[in-house]
Amino acid sequence: MVTSRATHALVRDVPDSFDRAIRPDKSSAPIDVSLAQGQHRHYCSVLEELRLDLIRVPSDRAYPDCCFVEDTAVVVGDKAVIATMGAATRRGESAAVEEALRQYKSLHRLPDPATLDGGDVLLIGDRIFVGLSSRTSAHAVEALRTVLSPDGYLVFPVAVRQALHLKSVCTYLGDEVIVCLPGEFDEAPFARYRRIRVPAEEGHAANCLSVNDLVLMPAGAPKTRALVEKAGFATAEIEISELRKAGAGLTCSSIIL
């Protein structure tokens, strides 16, 4: 499968209020905001090293989760679908992202009562897989079909079990290969793809970010990294321990254009 190279990444800095971000795992240790900000700066620098121009949206301490820009919009081709996020407290995050995307893409909004987090949307070629999670509704699947099917995209719902988002447990590496955590989602819609199954103890590594011939992987997953490299992919490791305390994976902190 031939895919176009990414040229831009929209990012948003970690706010000083990040220690009040939504914590899916309430048993996690307290968040070190300064460390989280440093890890996010390194993440951004890696994207720049991959020759992406960064579109920077100012952080807003009124929205502790605002650095997780992936959830605010779904960018497919020339269109950006602005999300009505599943967590009501986060919905104000979308406005600044929408304004930043305006000069790059045509903008579309989901109709009520659809709710959608971008972390539930996995794009593979002309196929769009939408996780039906606690944050994303079946109405969003139909709404995305309405917006994107005229451009030749096929939209498929995917049942998500306990995971926060589909991309928490399944991401695309390229060359018809996905990396995934078994048992956390319905794998049937992905039957055509080769699957790299993540060991349970490295579940966080099911969320990788593949950009311009390099697979960015979270630190602390040596078994998964070996499997990905054995499959023929170049990798680089990034530490996001503090961001993970708020449920984040590597895809969460950027929108790749």
Contact 223, 215 (CB under 8 A): no
User: Of 67, 170, 180, 252, which is the active-site residue?
Assistant: 252
Annotated catalytic, 165? yes
Q: Is beta strand 177-180 parallel, antiparallel or unpaired with respect to 194-197?
A: parallel
CB 215 within 8 A of CB 172: no
The per-residue DSSP string of the chain comes to ---PPP-EEEEEPPPTTGGGS--SSTTSPPP-HHHHHHHHHHHHHHHHHTTPEEEEE---TT-TTTT-GGGGEEEETTEEEE---SSGGGGGGHHHHHHHHTTTSEEEEPPTT----GGGEEEETTEEEEEE-SS--HHHHHHHHHHHGGGT-EEEEEEB-SSSSGGGTEEEEETTEEEE-TTSB--GGGTTSEEEEPPGGGGGGG--EEETTEEEEESS-HHHHHHHHHTT--EEEE--HHHHTTT--GGGG-EE-
Place of tokens 């986060």: 90
Q: Catalytic annotation on 208?
A: no
The residue annotated as part of the active site, out of 165, 170, 180, 204, is: 165
Residue of 70, 63, 172 lying closest to 120 (CA atoms): 70
Q: Could you give the residue numbers annotated as active site?
A: 165, 252
